[in-house]
Structure 1
Amino acid sequence: MAALPFSTLGSGPVAAPGWPGLAGRVRPSPRDRRRLRVAHFTTLTGTAGIWGPSSINSAALAASEINAGGGVLGRELELVTYDAGVPADELARQAEALVADDTADIVLGCHMSAIRVALRRTFAGLVPYIYTPIYEGGERTPGVLAIGETPPDQARPAIAWLAERKRASRWYLIGSDYVWPWQSHRAVKRYIAAAGGQVVGEDFVALGEEDHDPYLARIRAARPDVVFISLIGLDGITFNRAFGERGLGSQMLRLANCVDETVLLGIGAENTLNLFAASGYFTGVESRANDAFLCAYESAFGRFAPVPGATAQSNYEGLYFLEALARRAGAVDPADLMRAADGLTYRAGRGPVGLRRRRAEMPIYLGEADGFDFRLRQSF
């Protein structure tokens, strides 16, 4: 496949008239019922916008591959992308119009949990909503299917590993000020206590905050063994840069809840000493499934395309999950898909992933930052 350009886009819907490029901001074209239209809500602006280009690439790649194999129940996938980085009330109005005008068959969401909470009321039971990235767990809204990592599978074993292998007992928690870090930290505190540790401080930081000096001063004073970080996107970059520049990397460990290769590139190799991350996907995972995904991605977008880390790759997974689920259900109606979901196993970039009681089950890897990549230390 030839390399495909990415155009920076504003808020609102953006359509791809033919896979896989994006042609700028346009209104969705009239429906062709022979196709399965997917409204792709992914973040292109704001602090989580750093994952936008690679997320669009990953979804487009999956759509192309699935279409080449006959589509979903014989219908070709058609992607229409919406910027989930705009204010939640504006996005909610777009979602309401999407439902009222019957302009999509499926919603694919890769964005912050706060946006999912704002959108799910609109889509509940009306349009199937597949939510792909790491999240806090517990999603039970009818028609919403979440396939990302959750704290029991992701954070708990990593905390136990650091407690055992690094003798970590004092923990400081810092996260962005919205629902995912709030809920995740509640669980993380239980896992720290179970590992024999204690929390010596906690902060929640406003999205887009650039001055981390007050938080770093409190962290230095608290003298933790580990700083547990749930800062999203660009905020995670600016915090970790400042952390490294102030020499804290040599004094304590960091365990990041949402740092992938894209964020690591932004932090810079010189600021990642003793930085660990737990995730269900790293580009360095050695498997046939990952090799196939990365080879196809490079073939489609070129060697210098944005890195498809965990967040971006989840968009690829989301469409393969849809294909497997629809094949099992024999339909794309929300109720049919929900009934077929439990016990489903699908395969994409991470290899086989199972869905049990509305929670995805997959291997979790603990990586340690090594330059601009991660060295995998343990799998759980």
Structure 2
Amino acid sequence: MLADSPSSAWSSELPPRVSRGMRGGVPRERRRRDRRKLRIAHFTTLTGSAGIWGPSSVNSAVLAASEINKRGGILGREIELVIHDAGDAPEDLARTAQDLVTGEDADVILGSHMSAVRVSLRQTFKGRLPYIYTPIYEGGECTPGVLAIGETPPRQARPAVRWLAEHRHACRWYLIGSDYVWPWLSHRAVKRYIADAGGQIVGEDFVRVGEHDHSRYLERIRTTRPDVVFISLIGLDGIVFNRSFGEHGLGSRILRLANCVDETVLLGIGADNTTNLFAASGYFASVATAHGEAFRAAYHDAFGAFAPLPGSTAQSNYEGLYFLEAIARRAGTLDLRSLCAAAEGAVYRGGRGALGMHRQCVEMPIYFAEADGFDFRLRERF
């Protein structure tokens, strides 16, 4: 089982070697690198607002590495994971990224963190290292070497907006998101989808990451009386907002469509505050599929019944390594250009089942669900 604090190394009895990363550009421990192994620098957020997904994200990556290593690794090389906290200060992350490149201390980058971090890191890794970015994001990533496999607004948000317009007669929308690139660009797209569905925007706000006083935004919502509040607040910020939303008595009167809510976030919100809360995602732990159930069973076998539940964000880390395995097998090499060429049309399997990449986007089913206490009840599949 994994048992350590978020800022320290994860060690496990599972087969893959998991090492400490770096903080502030200074190695926590120096290890002679074994070039026969495939070193994957895993940038995942362990601190800050998005840190709530950190433990289960690391667990999910460790599980995938373990399974792949048992089959001989990737192109015969055992995976070695090195964890880096993507919640570190931007200047520290930039220094760490540059050290990895100049020191040739990583073969592949696996990223599960905020888009603002990706926008910063991709400048360093561009054209040098394969960079697999796994969670939901705003779409449009075309930086050479960056392969994004998460949900994007056209596939995820557009049908959800249409469903609420058709089935709940939603017309008036208020948008609130964290103040960085993912919500900015996602909202731009969502506004088009709302207009296409015959709706109108009655308000929009962007909130500083880490800001937990939402009283003025809740008052605006109360005043403008929207039918739906579209929420793209990240991690803990979304938990605090949705708690306050429910505690202010707004949940019974106003629908919510959350852009990045999974079972981990629901636990934080609390069952009493999830009334009329909807979410769309390529993966829910509560949606029964053969691949999803197999992933959850393997996860709990490895880490125990009380390990943090892997929702969509965490599962994407598992899927990211299987995506890497698939394109490496297809390319027959870990050469950057060959891997990127092999990604187009590649099919791989993870907790969401068999998925394929087309035109730099992964094609996947999207599940539309309504919160039911600490769980989700499936409403539609898009």
* Equivalent in the alignment of 1:226: 228
> Is 1:97 matched with 2:115?
no
> Is 1:144 matched with 2:141?
no
> Is 1:185 matched with 2:187?
yes
> Is 1:9 matched with 2:11?
no
Q: State the alpha-carbon separation in 1 of the partners of residues 41 and 30 from structure 2.
A: 10
* Equivalent in the alignment of 1:359: 361
* Equivalent in the alignment of 1:258: 260
Cα displacement (A) at 1:5:
2.6
Q: State the alpha-carbon separation in 2 of the partners of residues 106 and 18 from structure 1.
A: 23
| 8 A Cα contact 1:126 1:143, kept in partner | yes
| 8 A Cα contact 2:36 2:77, kept in partner | yes
* Percent identical: 68
SS at match of 2:321: helix
Q: State the alpha-carbon separation in 2 of the partners of residues 202 and 212 from structure 1.
A: 13
Q: State the alpha-carbon separation in 2 of the partners of residues 361 and 24 from structure 1.
A: 34
Q: State the alpha-carbon separation in 2 of the partners of residues 293 and 150 from structure 1.
A: 23
Q: State the alpha-carbon separation in 2 of the partners of residues 327 and 215 from structure 1.
A: 50
Cα displacement (A) at 1:171:
0.4
What are the Cα deviations for residues 240-290 of structure 1, in whole angstroms up to 9, with x where unaligned? 000000000011100000000000000000000000010000002221111
Distance 1:151 1:21, change over 3 A: same
> Residue type matched to 2:135 in 1?
P
Cα displacement (A) at 1:353:
1.1
> Is 1:377 matched with 2:374?
no
Cα displacement (A) at 1:27:
2.5
What are the Cα deviations for residues 68-113 of structure 1, in whole angstroms up to 9, with x where unaligned? 1111001110000000001112101000001000000000000000
* Equivalent in the alignment of 2:24: none
Query: How does 1:263-282 map onto structure 2 within 5 Å?
Result: 263-282=265-284
SS at match of 2:308: coil
| 8 A Cα contact 1:16 1:79, kept in partner | no
Distance 1:246 1:356, change over 3 A: same
> Residue type matched to 1:183 in 2?
L
> Residue type matched to 2:368 in 1?
L
| 8 A Cα contact 2:6 2:55, kept in partner | no
Stretches of structure 1 lacking an aligned partner (at least 5 in a row): none
Q: State the alpha-carbon separation in 2 of the partners of residues 210 and 182 from structure 1.
A: 19
The CA RMSD measured in Å over matched residues stands at 1.4
* Equivalent in the alignment of 1:200: 202
* Equivalent in the alignment of 1:86: 88
The alignment's TM-score, normalised by the length of structure 2, stands at: 0.96
SS at match of 1:244: helix
| 8 A Cα contact 1:15 1:79, kept in partner | no
> Is 1:283 matched with 2:280?
no
Q: State the alpha-carbon separation in 1 of the partners of residues 18 and 129 from structure 2.
A: 24
The alignment's TM-score, normalised by the length of structure 1, stands at: 0.96
Q: State the alpha-carbon separation in 1 of the partners of residues 10 and 269 from structure 2.
A: 32
| 8 A Cα contact 2:282 2:365, kept in partner | yes
2:237 corresponds to which of 235, 238, 249? 235
**Count of residue correspondences:** 375
> Residue type matched to 2:169 in 1?
R
* Equivalent in the alignment of 1:107: 109
| 8 A Cα contact 1:6 1:21, kept in partner | no
> Residue type matched to 1:322 in 2?
L
SS at match of 1:249: coil
> Residue type matched to 2:292 in 1?
N
* Equivalent in the alignment of 1:164: 166
Q: State the alpha-carbon separation in 2 of the partners of residues 220 and 48 from structure 1.
A: 27
What are the Cα deviations for residues 1-41 of structure 1, in whole angstroms up to 9, with x where unaligned? xxx03311338xx4758646867673352211111000000
